[in-house]
Amino acid sequence: MLEQQDQVLADSSYRKQFFKIKDMRERHVDTSIGTVSFRRRYYEHVRTNERIFLLDEQIGLEKSSRLSLDLKAKLLEPV
C-alpha cells in the first residue's frame, strides 16, 4: 500500500510542477506488528533544490526514525 501511494504521488500534477524524482530508496520501519519494508522516491524541489521523501511527509514518518509511533507508545506502556 505504501508503494502504491508513492506511485500516486509520483503521478500527481502537484509533484510534476514542483518536484523532480532523484532516486528510489528502501526504508525499514519497526512497528508493533513487525518490520515494514518499502521503497519510495526521493525528490528534489525544482526551485529550492530541497530534497525530500514526499511519502514520508504524507504519512508522518520522522526523518531517521526506525520505530513507528505505535511501537514507541507500546514500549512506554507500564508492564
At 42 the pLDDT is 97
At 75 the pLDDT is 81
- The strand pairing partners of 71, in sequence order, are none
CA 29, CA 64: separation in Å to the nearest integer?
10
Encode pLDDT of 54-77 as tens digits. 999 998 888 878 877 778 788 888
Encode pLDDT of 19-55 as tens digits. 999 999 999 999 888 999 999 999 999 999 999 999 9
Residue 17 has pLDDT above 90, yes or no: yes
